[in-house]
Amino acid sequence: MKACAKCGHESAAFGRCPFCGEAAATSDEEPAGYGAGTGDVNLPAWEDPGVSFPLNLVETWRRSVFEPGAFFADGPFERAAVRPVLYYLVISVLAAALSLTWGALLPATQSGFVETLAEIMNVAVPDGTDTTGSVSRLADFFLAPFWAVLYLIIASLVLHVFVLLLVPGRRGLTATVRTICYACGPGVFAIVPFIGGWVAGIWGIVLTVIGLREAHRTTTGRAFAAWLLAAALPIAFLLLGVVLVIARVASGV
Q: Judge whether 150 and 83 are in contact, CB under 8 Å.
A: no
- Kindly report, residue by residue over 156-176, the tens digit of the pLDDT: 999 999 999 999 988 999 999
- Kindly report, residue by residue over 164-215, the tens digit of the pLDDT: 999 998 899 999 999 999 999 999 987 887 788 899 999 999 999 999 999 9
Could you give the C-alpha distances from 157 to 75, 180, 252, in angstroms and in order? 20, 11, 38
**3-class secondary-structure state, position 24:** strand
Indicate the pLDDT class of residue 96, thresholds 50, 70 and 90: confident
**3-class secondary-structure state, position 3:** strand
Domain segments of the chain as ranges: 1-76, 80-253
